[in-house]
Amino acid sequence: MITVLTGLLDEAEILADTPGVTVLCGASARDNLLALTPPGTEALVSFGVCGGLSPRLQVGDLAFGTAVTNGSSVHRADRDWFYTMAGRLTFPHHGAPAYSTGQIGADTPAERHQIYLETKAWTIDDESLAVATVATALGIPFAIIRSVSDDYLEMMPAAIRNATNPDGSCNLEAILAALEADPIELLELPRVAWNFERALGTLRGAWRILQPNFVMT
């Protein structure tokens, strides 16, 4: 059995009803991943959209995390599993390090550039560090499968920075409150939504290919 952690319900729905895969979702699951990982889990996966840190990544690109860092420690993903998955895909993809803390959002181009310079990580997300840490504690392999929803030049609107509930659902009240405080941000949301859907589309396409016999070897 493989356990997958996503940050959003939209990501979790892509994996729904996959035999042999248990899906956990949201910041609450991330923060309690060790306790929530079912007995018998043979591997962990971080799955979902991500932010781009490298200028080589564009919105909609698929990136397998070869390792994950929080700026001080590094956890390496299972190499053989990465090559197996990458070899099965029929569209372009990348293998590169990921940055993850669950706290730093890299909401401006300057923040993204600084993280990229300091860590050489190509992507940023909130779940991969937790997956790597728990996998290391349990002595099992892990993988990172991510699609870029916002690139290295992106300025993330404040309206979506706290737009997710602990269970991975949309926090509509927080979005509306942010828009009330700064209505001009309403003009940015269609672009953000379009890019998010592009990233989800990439994940759906990748999962259609990877889902059959989704194993490490």
CA angle, residues 25, 56, 134, in degrees to nearest 5: 30
pLDDT above 70: residue 141: yes
Q: Which residue has the higher pLDDT, 179 or 211?
A: 211
Question: Would you say residue 217 lies in a domain?
Answer: no
177 located within any domain: yes
Beta-carbon count within 10 A of 189 CB: 14
Between these two residues, 13 and 170, which has the higher pLDDT value?
A: 13
Could you tell me if residue 164 is inside a domain?
A: yes
Instruction: Provide the pLDDT confidence category of residue 216 given band limits of 50, 70 and 90.
Output: low
Question: For residue 197, what are the domain limits?
Answer: 2-210
Taking 70 as the threshold, does the pLDDT of residue 217 lie above it? no
Instruction: Check pLDDT > 60 for residue 197.
Output: yes
In the prediction, which pLDDT does 154 show?
Answer: 86
Q: Higher model confidence: residue 30 or residue 160?
A: 30
Domain count, the chain: 1
- 3-state SS of the chain is CEEEEECCHHHHHHCCCCCCEEEEECHHHHHCHHHHCCCCCCEEEEEEEEEECCCCCCCCCEEEEEEEECCCCEEECCHHHHHHHHHHCCCCCEEEEEEECCCCCCCCHHHHHHHHHHHCCCEEECCHHHHHHHHHHHCCCEEEEEEEEECCCCCCCHHHCCCECCCCCECHHHHHHHHHHCHHHHHCHHHHHHHHHHHHHHHHHHHHHHCCCCCCC
What pLDDT is attached to residue 39?
95
Per-residue pLDDT of 75-87, as tens digits, reads: 999 999 999 999 9
Q: Is the pLDDT of residue 215 over 70?
A: no
What number is the average pLDDT over the span 37-51?
A: 96
Q: Is residue 34 part of a domain?
A: yes
Task: Examine residue 215 and state whether it is found in any structural domain, yes or no.
Answer: no
Q: Domain holding 63: CATH number?
A: 3.40.50.1580
- Does a structural domain hold residue 216? no
Q: How sure is the predictor about 35, in pLDDT bands with cuts at 50, 70 and 90?
A: very high
Digit-coded pLDDT (tens) for 90-107: 888 999 999 999 886 788
pLDDT at 211 over 90: no
Residue 148 inside a domain? The answer is yes
